[in-house]
Amino acid sequence: MAPRRKSVQTSRRSLNDVCYKENNYLCCLNDYQTRVRRRESLRHARNHVEHDLEQKIEVEIKMREGSARLLAAAKHRAQSLEAAKALLTSNERMSVYMAELQNRRRESIKQSCTSGSTGKLSISDLRIPLMWRDSDHFKNRGDHRRFAVFCLARLGTEIHDTSLLYPIDRAHTDLSFPDVLIFNNVPSEFELILEIYSHVLQEDLSIASTPRRIKKTIHSSISKTVGKKLAASLRDEFGSAKSGPHFDLVARAKLSLDDTNDNTHTHDLVINSIENKHHSLPLFGHFCCRLAIQPECITKEICIGNVKIDGQNYWARLQGFCIKTWESKKHAEEGQNPEHIIPINKRTSIQPSRTSTKELLINNSGNSVETLLPIKFESKEEVQKWLKLLSAHINDHSRWKHAAEVIQRVSNIENMRNSFISNKRQGSLYDETPLIESIPSDYTSARPTVQTIFDLTPSTSLSSCSSTNSLTSLRSRSLSISGVFKQSGISLKPHLTSANKKA
């Protein structure tokens, strides 16, 4: 009976150990999520600019502690990847905050050196194409690697992270991030740095993913036959795996005001060379995103007050690079159509009147308005205030370039994602690329289109032609249509014929 009691006691101890580990894991998870919410509340606060760097550093220190505890207690790959990502992000923020704090202490109280208004910047629709071999993607064989990928966006002392995408394998033609990253108080001379981090996941074909007993057997056999050096390297690799996933910086890009647009555009990537090429993400070298910025002077009231134009009193408002006037303040608040819309931009010149100290002359000859417009104010102080703000408004229009000419839509939603990993992906660039060639009306009707050659429907996309059967049918159709080219006297394009010769 004694051994039976021991077995019961042993089972109770093991059960207690399991319960203790589960409770420890849940405590770490709860603590981590609490600190994430704390950091997000600081980020979303309206007066987030007023928070001192020391307070941000304190928050990031707690975030690092929570991420390290979660990384040590995590049993699932999802939690370990997210914790490693959060730890890396906190370390990057810490380094930026510490450098900025040292600069401020060195320069005493650092005042803002940038003049003029700031803006609100958003980056969304981030998609990064991947370059797999055709045999890997279409035939689903060859490259067996899988990756976990996320991005960091840096602007000044602000660092925002995207959601974590995993597993990314040869079936994925591109990376599509659902995030909308928002930066506030952005100067016109900004430089946004986008960094791509990836981690290669251990697969069934690698030694690191084999069960522990099999790995020990392989480790011992290799150490006996090959030698101590290879065994030591395997032990180091196994030991480093215990510390958690390691993300490599695989590529980066720099974006500025010239890259902003209301639509999605393609940009270049600078790919970093990694020591272990097996861990390198198969990037194409380009990415696309929607980088939009909106100067605050477009939506913010710069100046308001009573003015007199052509001897009649009006209520005036300076906003969005123009002066709008109404008969009364009530009409302006009701949203009625303004009586005057006076453009104020880089082609506008303003000068005080020589005949009156309470009058300003607005010259819009550069805006196809030849006459000078005199505007009278209630006092000399009002004249000086309006003159100063109008001059700054003109400078802002010149500094913001095309962003002041065409209003770009900036979303108010930031980081719409779950606390952990979301496996939902946007539509693939590959799937959304149409195979239909649009023919302008001025082209000759004898020129065959892609639809005529391959007998495609308007809904046909690249993904529908990716299978072997569809490729065979397309090839047969292209061969059968070759006679049409000869009979109609239409010659193939030079780059197509050269490609066929090479093939």
Task: Give the separation between CA 53 and CA 100, rounded to whole angstroms.
Answer: 8
Considering 55, 79, 105, which residue would you say is the last residue of a domain? 105
Amino acid 145: pLDDT: 85
34 pLDDT band (50/70/90 cuts)? Answer: low
Q: How confident is the model over 288-324, as pLDDT tens digits?
A: 999 999 999 999 999 999 999 999 999 999 999 999 9
Which structural domain range is residue 194 located in? 116-203+245-296
- Contacts for 237 with CB less than 8 Å, ≥ 6 apart: 208
379 and 361, same domain (yes or no): yes
58 and 155, same domain (yes or no): no
> Which residue's structure tokens are 């980066």?
252
- The CATH number of residue 392's host domain is 2.30.29.30
Quickly count: other Cβ atoms within 10 Å of residue 18's Cβ.
Answer: 10
Considering 70, 105, 140, which residue would you say is the last residue of a domain? 105
> DSSP character for 283?
B
323 and 286, same domain (yes or no): no
275 and 167, same domain (yes or no): yes
97-111, 255-269, 318-332, 420-434: least confidently modelled range: 420-434
Amino acid 460: pLDDT: 46
Residue-wise DSSP of 320-368:
SSEEEEESSHHHHHTTPPPSEEEE-STT-EEEE-SS-TTEEEEE-GGGT
SS3 173: coil
406 pLDDT band (50/70/90 cuts)? Answer: very high
Amino acid 408: pLDDT: 94
C-alpha dist (Å) from residue 160 to 139, 163, 294, 461: 37, 10, 19, 34
Quickly count: other Cβ atoms within 10 Å of residue 77's Cβ.
Answer: 15
Decide if pLDDT at 275 tops 60: yes
SS3 161: strand
170 and 269, same domain (yes or no): yes
125 and 272, same domain (yes or no): yes
Considering 343, 374, 404, which residue would you say is the last residue of a domain? 404
52 and 93, same domain (yes or no): yes
* Number of domains observed in the structure of the chain: 3
The segment with the largest mean pLDDT, out of 48-57, 239-248, 273-282, 324-333, is 324-333
Residue-wise DSSP of 128-142:
EEB---HHHHHS--S
* Mean pLDDT calculated for residue range 360-386: 87
Residue 330 in any domain: the answer is: yes
Q: Is 368 left (phi over 0), alpha (psi -120 to 50) or beta?
A: left
Amino acid 54: pLDDT: 83
SS3 162: coil
269 and 317, same domain (yes or no): no
Average of per-residue pLDDT values in the chain: 75
* Tokens describing residue 191: 């430089």
Decide if pLDDT at 210 tops 60: no
Cis peptide before 3 (omega within 30 of 0): no
Residue 324 in any domain: the answer is: yes
> Which residue's structure tokens are 């946007």?
426
Decide if pLDDT at 276 tops 60: yes
Amino acid 466: pLDDT: 44
What letter represents residue 364's amino acid? N
Question: Are the C-beta atoms of residues 363 and 412 closer than 8 Å to each other?
Answer: no
Q: How confident is the model over 93-148, as pLDDT tens digits?
A: 999 998 988 887 777 554 544 568 999 999 999 999 998 876 555 556 666 788 99
Question: Are the C-beta atoms of residues 426 and 176 closer than 8 Å to each other?
Answer: yes
Amino acid 59: pLDDT: 87
157-166, 200-209, 294-303: least confidently modelled range: 200-209
Task: Give the separation between CA 72 and CA 79, rounded to whole angstroms.
Answer: 10
The segment with the largest mean pLDDT, out of 62-66, 143-147, 150-154, is 150-154
> DSSP character for 228?
H
Q: What is the pTM of this model?
A: 0.68
Question: Are the C-beta atoms of residues 292 and 260 closer than 8 Å to each other?
Answer: yes
Task: Give the separation between CA 373 and CA 310, rounded to whole angstroms.
Answer: 9
The segment with the largest mean pLDDT, out of 121-135, 176-190, 430-444, is 176-190
Question: Are the C-beta atoms of residues 421 and 163 closer than 8 Å to each other?
Answer: yes
Residue 98 in any domain: the answer is: yes
Residue 8 in any domain: the answer is: no
Helix (H), strand (E) at residue 194: strand 192-201
- The CATH number of residue 189's host domain is 2.60.40.150
Residue 471 in any domain: the answer is: no
- The CATH number of residue 27's host domain is 1.10.287
Does residue 416 or residue 375 have the better pLDDT? 375
Residue 452 in any domain: the answer is: no
178 and 318, same domain (yes or no): no
Burial letters 230-245, b for 16+ CB under 10 A, else e: ebeebeeeeeeeeebb
Does residue 416 or residue 369 have the better pLDDT? 369
Quickly count: other Cβ atoms within 10 Å of residue 154's Cβ.
Answer: 19
Residue 336 in any domain: the answer is: yes
Decide if pLDDT at 362 tops 70: yes
146 and 273, same domain (yes or no): yes
291 and 309, same domain (yes or no): no
Residue 416 in any domain: the answer is: no
Task: Give the separation between CA 56 and CA 452, rounded to whole angstroms.
Answer: 62
Does residue 33 or residue 198 have the better pLDDT? 198
* Mean pLDDT calculated for residue range 29-54: 58
336 and 384, same domain (yes or no): yes
Task: Give the separation between CA 373 and CA 110, rounded to whole angstroms.
Answer: 41
